[in-house]
Structures are given as structure tokens and as C-alpha cells.
Amino acid sequence: MNAARGLGDTGVNGRRTTLVVVALALLGVALRLPFLTVPPGPDESGFFIIGQQWRDGTSLYGDYWVDRPPLLVTIFWLVPSITWLRIVGCLAVAAVVLLVGFAAYAARGHRAAVAAAATAALLSAAPWLGVVRVNGELLASPFVAGAMVLTVLMLRDGARRPHLLALGAGAASAAAFGVKQSSVDGFVFGTVALAVLALTRPERRRQALTLLLAAVGGALALAVLLVAWGATRGTDPVGLFHAVVTFRADAGEVIRESASSATTDRLREMVLAWLVSGLALLTLVALALGVRHRRDPVVVATLATLLAGSAVALLGGSYWLHYLAQLIPAAALTAAWLVGTPDGAPGPGRAPGVVRRAAVVLVAAWLPIATVVTLSDELSHPIDDGPAEATGAFVREASEPGDTIVVAYGQPNVVLDSGLTAPYEHLWSLPVRVLDPDLADLTALVESPERPTWVVQWGKDGFATWAVRTDTFSDAVHEHYREAGTVCGRTIWLRDDAERTLPAPEAC
């Protein structure tokens, strides 16, 4: 596989490409700036709470349990505030734009680099992909893009130190997995690219195998390092395996058996976002390119990565929009292969005349229009977290030092807004449904002397919810608590032995 020089090229083309790609990275950051002060969402809040108290405690991560790998928690341990987290999110977008631009230029030249960088910048700002807030998919994307760069470089004929590049690609792929365990894109891209290389270039078959072994070595080394780091903070390796691997299978079964109609509604929304955002169009382009250029490692690997990411989004079962953000690096490379001209050897190059030009025009028009429309809609109809903010504010104003809170069930943004700690280890509803479906642990807590000062009943119709047996817990709350008020339809309970001055609820 021949390739053009990278963004480090000192020629006119190299400097021009560098300037354009850097400008597009800045555009990607600029498009996120209007959302820098959006109230933190449940995931941001929950991970921030967990990260800030991560130490040797009573659960997997300090005193809390979450089904995520340690690198994600490390990031939230490092950031001092939600604002800084949003800045890290902006840096992640810039890194993805730069890295996919580098990968595309290294493989196909200037036009490919611009196409990849522009696609990444636009998709990274698309609210319909759930990227307004910082999520695991966004934070994993730079590592995925880095693995793609290293894979492209190691595949080149005459590449310098290809096994070192493979080692780095494996480590970068493991880092992405260490942020979000569903982020397997780097593994898929590298494995498929090496498989195609071995099948189409018999003279490089042995090298492909040794490169694969080097990549596996890099991935294992990084995985061991992350597990060891977690252990120093009190995270048990066996418990970590359960959280990252086996819990997801158990959760999938619970969702399939008991999920409410809201899950089906989210599936419809996710499919609609996939269609409108341009990801569906780029997937069709990737399919066409993959069939036409099935002997090209990077084209086939890009297609495989897009399909794998789509499968992950569907098989996750919860169908949150931000799952689609995982597709951004591969979608960006698809745009690159559509417009890129190979430097010598056979490659994706130009699709047949009219078809190729039509596809380029369609992609070039669709992505900016979709992004502008969704951004405009998001800015004119800001995210409404009124109930969470108002509920948290009510408890914060009424609470005294040493007070604690539990929200039944989930809504860690309410916990963060209240400024209190939660004595219950589960901050999200899905772990409650899977690990404490009878609410035995939560009931024992509210019946103990250490019971929380405040209990927030998030459901408007009582404590009942799907996949959870709530009668015993509800009885315990009614026995040990009294109603302190209702905010935005959410009942707030105060323990019977506590006296607090209650504020007037904020308007919703």
C-alpha cells in the first residue's frame, strides 16, 4: 500500500493541508462552544461524582458502582469541574479532526484529508448524535482515530518501524476500550486491514501476522497497566471484569425482557438520527466502496468498522443517541476514500465518473445542511433540565451539612445539583434493575440508622418502575420518611427525625 506523505510534509501541499485541517479542527471546537455551559447531564454528573471520590471504598470505584472501565473514571478524576470536562470534550473533537485528517492524507493526499477532517468536524457538532454533552464515545474517539492513523502508517510499503506502529495501534485501541468497552473500532479497523493485506498480498502475509501479534502485545500491555492502575485506587480486577463484561450481558437480558415503551421510542429516535445526520448515507458509500475496492485494506477496514459500530449501537439495547458518536472516525474516513486519489498503487481512488461525482455532491451538501439545521434547532430549543435542576436546588437550599440523598432511581444530575453525597452505590437506574431488582440493598439502607436524609421519588406515579419490585422499599420510605414537598411533579421525602426549613419550589 503506497501512501502520500503525512501532515508533517514540508512541501506546499503539506503546509496547505495542515492549515486547512487545523482550521477545521478549530471549527469543530467553535461549534461546541455554545453548549459549554449547558447543565450537566446524568452521565456527566454521575461519572464526575464517581471520579471525584475514587479511592479504596465500599464498592467498585470508591463508594459507587458503574459498568465502565477505569480510564473513563480516570478522566473524570482528573478534571476539576464540569466546565473543564467540556473543555476536554472540545480538545477531544480537535484531536479526532486532526487525526483522521492525518490518516486520510497519509493514505490518499490533500483532498482526502480535507474531506475526512470536515466530516469529523461537522459530525462532532451534530446535536442529534448526542454530542452536546461529553460522553464516553466522544472521549474514546481520539484513541480510535489514533489507532487508525498508526494502522494506515504501518500498512505502507517500506514503512519505518512498522512493528512499533502496530504496538502503538494496539495500545491506542485498548485505550479506547478503556474509556468505553463498546469502543472496539480500533481493534476492528486494525484486524480487518491486516486480514485483507494478508489475503491480497501473499508476500506480506508473514509480516501481517507479526504486525497483528505486535498489536495484540500493545493492547495487552495497556490493559494490564489500566487494571493495575485501578487496583492502586481500590478497584478490584475481578469486580472490574464483571462490570465491564458480564454485566452488559445481564443488562441486555433485563432490557429485552422488561423494558418499557420508552426504549422502543429511543430506538426510533436513534434510527432517525442515523438517517438525518448523514451517517446512513456514509454507510451506503462505505458499502459501495468496500464492494468495488475489496482488495484495499483501509477501505474494507473502514466499512467493517462502520458496520461494527452500528451493530454495537443496536445491540446495546438502550439506544441512546450518543451511541452513534462512535461512528464518527470511520464515517470521516469513508468521506476521505470517496474523494481521495491514490498515490500510485490501486486504492479506493475515484468511483466511476457520474456516480462518484453525485455521491461527493450529496455528501458535501447533506452533512453541512444537517448539522446547521440540528444546531439551529438545539440553540433555539435548549436542553430542558428544569425538573432535575429545580429538584436539586430545592434539596440544596433546605439541606444542612452532613445531609445525604438518594434518587429513586438514577438521575445523578439531581445528586450533583443538590451538592450532597449519595449513600447508595448505584447512581443509574440500569444497575439497580440488574443488581438490586428487589431493592433489598436500598430498602436495608432506608431502614438503617445511616439512611439518607432525603429521598427523591423521580417517578410521578410512585416508586414503581419496570424490572424492579418496589413494594417493600415503598413501604419502608413511608414508614421512615414524610413528604417534604413536590417539585416538578417529583415528590421529595425527608426522614422523620430531621427538621429542615423548606424553600418554595422553583418553577419548572
Determine, yes or no, domain membership for 398.
yes
Residue 61 lies in a domain: no
Residues in the chain: 508
Pair (343, 437) in one structural domain: no
If phi over 0 gives left and psi between -120 and 50 gives alpha, with beta otherwise, what is residue 405? beta
Confidence (pTM): 0.93
Do 359 and 400 sit in the same domain of this protein?
no
CA distances from 115 to 83, 258, 360 (A): 31, 43, 10
Q: Which amino acid is at 275?
A: L
C-alpha cell at 264: 422502543
Task: State whether 165 and 294 are in the same domain.
Answer: yes
Tell me which amino acid residue 204 is: R
C-alpha cell at 140: 474514546
For residue 470, what is its C-alpha cell?
Answer: 418496589
Same domain for 434 and 366? no
d(C-alpha 356, C-alpha 364), whole Å = 12
Q: For residue 93, report the phi and psi dihedrals to the nearest 5 degrees.
A: -60, -45
β-partners of residue 9 are none
Residue 354 shares a structural domain with residue 429: no
Do 132 and 103 lie in one domain? The reply is: yes
Identify the domain boundary among 380, 402, 434. Answer: 380
* Model pLDDT, residue 113: 96
Count of domains observed in the chain: 2
Beta-carbon contacts of residue 199 (< 8 Å; ≥ 6 apart):
none
Domain that holds residue 175: 12-35+68-230+260-380
Is residue 468 located within the same domain as residue 358? no
On whether the CB atoms of residues 54 and 61 are closer than 8 A, the answer is yes
Residue 249 lies in a domain: no
The three cell numbers of residue 441 are 440493598
In 260-389, DSSP assigns E strands to none
Residue with cell 436542553: 383
Residues 415 and 356 grouped into a single domain: no
C-alpha–C-alpha distance, residues 297 and 350, integer Å: 16
Q: Which of these, 135, 69, 65, 47, lies nearest to 431 by C-alpha position?
A: 65
Contacts of 38 (CB under 8 A, 6+ apart): 132, 133, 382, 383
Give the H or E element holding residue 86: helix 82-108
Structural contact between residues 151 and 169, judged by C-beta atoms closer than 8 angstroms: yes
Domain closes at, from 318, 349, 380: 380
Contact 260, 429 (CB under 8 A): no
Same domain, 209 and 122: yes
Residues linked to residue 61 through DSSP beta bridges, in sequence order: 64
| Average pLDDT value for the chain | 92
Cell of 448: 438503617
Residue 332 lies in a domain: yes
In a domain, 501, yes or no: no
Looking at residue 242, what DSSP letter applies?
Answer: I
Contact 281, 363 (CB under 8 A): yes
Are 462 and 327 contained in the same domain? no
Contact 404, 481 (CB under 8 A): no
Residues with Cβ within 8 Å of 49's Cβ and at least 6 positions away in sequence, in order, are 64, 412, 415, 416, 422, 427
Rounded to whole angstroms, the Cα distance separating 285 from 291 reads 10
Residues 274, 321, single domain; the answer is yes
User: What residue has cell string 447543565?
Assistant: 39
- Parts of the chain with a pLDDT under 50: 1-6, 8, 10, 341-351
Q: Does residue 507 fall inside a structural domain? A: no
pLDDT of residue 380: 74
Pick from 53, 85, 86: which is nearest to 427 by CA? 53
* Cβ 169 vs Cβ 147: under 8 Å: yes
Q: What are phi and psi of 259, to 5 degrees?
A: -60, 150
Picking from 319, 348, 380, the residue at the C-terminal end of a domain is 380
Amino acid at 197: L
Please check whether residue 270 lies inside any domain of the structure: yes
| Claim to verify: residue 399 and residue 353 sit in the same structural domain | no
Query: Which residue from 390, 424, 364 is spatially nearest to 50, judged by alpha carbons?
Result: 424
Sign of CA dihedral 325, 142, 226, 56: negative
Residue 436 domain-assigned (yes or no)? yes
**DSSP code of residue 90:** H
Write out the three cell numbers for 184.
472496539
